[in-house]
Copies of this chain bind each other. A is one copy, B any other.
Amino acid sequence: MKDVAKAAGVSPTTVSHALNGKGVVRQETADRIAQVAARIGYRPSPIAQGLQSSRLGLLALVIRPLRSLDTFLPEGVDYFLRMAGAASLAAMERGYSMMLVDDPTRPGAPMSATAADAYIVSEPFENDPVLTMLSERHIPFVSVGSDPARPGRFVELATRDWEETVLALDHLAGAGAERVALLTGTDQNAWNRESEAAYRDWCARRGQEPDIAAFPEADGERIGPAAIERFFGSPDATRPDGLFCLTGRHAAGLNAAARERGIRVPEDLLLAAGSGALQNRISHPSVTTLDLHPEGIAARAVEVAVQLAEGAELTVPLEVPRATLDIRESTTR
């Protein structure tokens, strides 16, 4: 910038004013400066510009369960892909860029990992160090779903795990299931916790014995055979005729494994999933899933993040949009 000023025969102040349209600069001067800047190949430093406000116009999305999954953005995990995409778009629309960050607390993390104006942390783990770090450094953030060990302690978008579970379970019962089992994940997050609690409560109210198995999220479809064995390896009397499977990929694996085992969906087993993957929509039979509307969640989270970044009053409802049930063949007898 000094070079431009020198070459144009003005002060850096004037260059700054001219190039940013601030202050008052005569049109001719401004034009001349623009010309010189272009000729010299002047490249403003966004970092230096950001130094004053200590803001970069950057948001970060930390999707915690990603580390549990086998690939970073695994195909078929509609939820996170749609969330990341929608979050990026929503950020752009509000004049921010969106950064995908792995884990800013990791030792080798790049400078940029902590450079965002605000963070969105999706599905934090129990006592999540990412939340701890952000909070210690007074970096604004919103979590989607609470830290199970510290609910309500930070700004969070409340999820509707409980009501969503009941929605799915009631649907299964309404479709004719008498004994509904639960297939959950092993991640220590609010979704798994709350859903299980809601399921237990639902069973208690119906006077049914809970039947729960947990398989690692990371194993995806591969859990199919093992899960079938777990639920259908025992004598007929205790077998479920309905199954609520939290993740779409687990449901897809189970759906395929059931078929191979000669268990007919939906005739013998009513199957519903708590989150959808494309697979569930186009499998045979197709699988009923909750649509959590990750785009809506992302949009809301971005809105909150922007307000936090700008130190504005929070005017956004701090809860995720209501999920809907996409009823498909697996629960239609």
The interface of chain A, by Cβ under 8 A from chain B, is 38, 41, 43-51, 54-58, 60, 71-76, 78, 81-82, 84-86, 88-89, 92, 95-102, 108-115, 136-139, 278-279, 282-283
Contacts and interface: CB of A to CB of B under 8 A. Distances in A.
B54 A47 contact: yes
B112 A101 contact: no
Contacts of A47: 47, 50-51, 54, 56, 115
A58 B110 contact: yes
21 contacts: A38-B136, A44-B114, A45-B54, A47-B50, A47-B56, A48-B51, A49-B111, A50-B111, A50-B112, A56-B115, A58-B111, A58-B115, A71-B89, A72-B89, A73-B84, A73-B85, A73-B89, A76-B278, A81-B85, A88-B100, A97-B113
A122 to B, nearest CB: 14
Given A99-B99, A279-B278, A43 B88 contact: no
The 3 closest A-B pairs by CB, nearest first: A73-B85, A57-B110, A72-B89
A112 B118 CA distance: 13
Given A72-B88, A75-B78, A57 B113 contact: yes
A56 B112 contact: yes
Given A75-B78, A278-B278, A99 B58 contact: yes
Contacts of A85: 71-74, 81
A48 B137 CA distance: 15
A110 to B, nearest CB: 3
Given A50-B115, A71-B85, A73-B82, 11 more contacts: A41-B137, A43-B139, A55-B111, A56-B110, A56-B111, A57-B112, A72-B85, A72-B86, A72-B89, A95-B109, A96-B112
Contacts of A75: 78, 81-82, 278
